[in-house]
Structure 1
Amino acid sequence: MTDLRIEQVDSDASLLDWQFVHNAIIPTAPLSFAEVTERAGRNRLCVAYAGNVLVGCSTVRPPGADNPVGTVIARVLPEHRGRGFGGQLYAHGLELARGLGAEVIETCVLESNPEGLRFALRNGFVETERYVLPGDTVPFIDLRLA
């Protein structure tokens, strides 16, 4: 398994890398640079590289003051799947979420990403909800770590 370098988003270049991966994997809800910048202010965004090659990104939504739920989302570009990168990104995000006080872990997968759904189910998540955002046609699937 190739080692993965996971870095917290901290520059315009890393924000653009995170945006690229997100928009490639979630084409039904692309984010502008301004939206990614805003998201980085409230979540922990990371980018992942194998050597100097961008392979994925992650999002950790911290738990709230009165809500112990943290969300961990790991995304790997299709051409880099099946090499263990998702597992490494997920483990990193899980550790970060728990370090931020998350007692319950959730994730979210776009229904058109069957590899992501299989990954979540293999890692102990169970489906809790499916919904379609206004104007979209492809459902998102929320899952909770059992």
Structure 2
Amino acid sequence: MTTTPQGSSRCFPPHAVHSVRATYVRQAGCPAYFADVTFDVEPAHASGSYVEVAVPHGLRVEPRGEPLVAVSYLAAFRDGFADALAEHRSDVRADVLIVVRKVTIHEVDSNDSAFRHAGRLALDAVIRRLAEDLAPDHPAA
């Protein structure tokens, strides 16, 4: 899961980003796909390239499901995020802790593939939020 050249000092993410949501829905026949994850990302402060998912006690799973069912999809979510990061941001070292806050699943349409796609979309959502953080509050006069 190495995402950067040896010796890269730039880490991703540069700081924590909270309350990010990634949703993947495809309902164009069988099979259908559904994944919805709300999460925070923060620097993991790990050595080496690192993308990991943390599941806090009391994880919200909707509809009211067993957290263990949702946890089985989160490895695919992590893998999708890590794959997208390696493909699109090879100039940085992955140092990512994904803290999952809420998972919404569909008893029929949720599957590993849907969560892998959602993980890829999650990276895009994080990058957009980081860009918003850099945008000036007011346009230049």
TM-score after normalising by structure 2 = 0.28
Higher relative contact order (CA 8 A, sep 6+): 2
